[in-house]
Amino acid sequence: MKFFVYDCLIFTLLISVSYILDGYLNAPFDKVDVFAIFVSLPILLILAGLFTKMFLEFDRMSKTVKVIITVPAFINACLIVALIGPIMFGFGV
């Protein structure tokens, strides 16, 4: 259960960060895009580090079980963002 909650939280953060950055990263690239990339890179690296640390922390679980738990956690994270997103980010459903 702990793995599912951590996984869901990390996916929710990743989807939220991706949505926020989507408005800044557009073609053609200019100074704002480069700045957004430099700001987002540490955030994404921290999320990747948390995801890796979480997978290593639960080393007693087999990788198959981790993948089976990760799929519903991702779906749950999508539902959380779809329900809470309009409140936090102001986009419509």
pLDDT digit string, tens, across residues 67-87:
899 999 999 999 998 888 777
Domain extents in the chain: 2-89
The CA-atom distances, in angstroms, between 50 and each of 22, 34, 58 are 22, 25, 12
Distance (Å, whole) CA 43 – CA 47:
6
Q: Which residues of the chain are modeled with pLDDT < 50?
A: none
Residue with tokens 């749950």: 76
Residue 92 is predicted with a pLDDT of: 55
Please give the model's pTM, rounded to 2 decimal places: 0.73
